[in-house]
Amino acid sequence: MKALLNEYQQTVKKAQACELCTKYLPLGPRPVFQVHPEAKILIAGQAPGSKVHETGVPFNDPSGNRLREWMGIDKNTFYDAQKIAILPMGFCFPGTGKSGDMPPRKECAEQWRSTFIRLLPKIELTLVIGQYALNWHLKGQKKKNLTETVRAWQEYWPQNLPLPHPSPRNNIWLKKNRWFEKDVVPKLKKNIRQLLQ
């Protein structure tokens, strides 16, 4: 365990200082993630938005408010790294495109993801948010689109739970798919309560 802790601490320092994608990042590098070897829940998101880039706090925006509501936890619990790891596919804000933020930089996951996953041996539930996280965490197991993948959530449960992005941009999706908040969210809240006891 001591060797794992040492590697974990060194990896965190290196990732926090990462400048791998600097030339592609409009606001420069500012890796934002939260990890600890004791964490039991992993949030696998996309990439920080501009507000998260400014504050350096993951999910410090309306998306985070909704995600915490879905999980049934408060901010103190959410930001307790010994309980919850937050590891986006890209650690830095990738910039804005025509219809929202740009995709996470591929170099980030290639460089860091497998190492960090190995350094989180106690994860029992991974919340897989958005298509880029789905592509990595559910390789070869996804359905034809995000809606169908989320609808088939029981196939991945309880190790993984595919989720739509909690962004306000997805309000229309949530209205069209009321089964998600009616059927899936209560199961998620119950499981998280059990894991955090």
Domain with 173 in it: what CATH number? 3.40.470.10
Can you give the residue range of the structural domain that contains 31?
Answer: 2-195
Task: State the average pLDDT for the chain.
Answer: 95
The alpha helices in the chain, defined as continuous H runs, are 2-16, 50-55, 62-71, 75-78, 106-108, 114-118, 131-137, 146-151, 171-176, 179, 185-195
pLDDT higher than 90, residue 97? no
Mean of the pLDDT values across residues 43-60?
Answer: 93
pTM, entire model: 0.95
- Per-residue pLDDT of 65-89, as tens digits, reads 999 999 999 999 999 999 999 999 9
pLDDT higher than 80, residue 99? no
Nearest to residue 38, comparing CAs of 136, 165, 146, 123?
123
Total domain count, the chain: 1
Mean of the pLDDT values across residues 91-120?
Answer: 92
- Per-residue pLDDT of 158-176, as tens digits, reads 999 999 999 998 999 999 9
pLDDT higher than 90, residue 1? no
**Which pLDDT score, from 0 to 100, does residue 101 have?**
82
**Which pLDDT score, from 0 to 100, does residue 4 have?**
80
Mean of the pLDDT values across residues 136-163?
Answer: 96
